[in-house]
Structure 1
């Protein structure tokens, strides 16, 4: 037996239905701090690395994840 359920809702409605917290204020604060930091100086890999280390200390494994994510996004598509 196969049952398919289709739910048509916005991301906000889905978040509320699943009981997930609203992280919009945290996201807005993070982006504001990133803009303030980058407005003060030219963005360099060292600056971005320092920002992530000071805002979200995730250790070496987390930094490797971010490094791989950014490097894969900068490679041309095959």
Structure 2
């Protein structure tokens, strides 16, 4: 014997029926915090800001960056 039961309910109704906690407020707070942190860090990813940071260290940082890029290109060429 095979039975099929179809339940038509909203996610909120299903959550309540199964006794699961309501975490919507926590989820909203976490999403808002993530948005705030991402917005604060987006300026650090701008090319102008990256170049300012690298130039602040002088020629030593430029040389290290050049070596990093050469190493990455060499590894990419091999594999």
TM-score (norm 2): 0.51
Give CA deviations for 1:19-77 in whole Å, capped at 9, x if unaligned: 00111011001001101101111287xxxxxxxxxxxxxxxxxxxxxxxxxxxxxxxxx
Mapping of 1:1-78 within 5 angstroms?
1-42=1-42
Flag as ranges the 4+ runs of structure 1 deviating above 4 A: none
Larger Rg computed on CA atoms: 2
Give the Cα–Cα distance (whole angstroms) in 2 for the partners of residues 10 and 20 of structure 1.
Answer: 14
Cα-Cα RMSD: 1.7
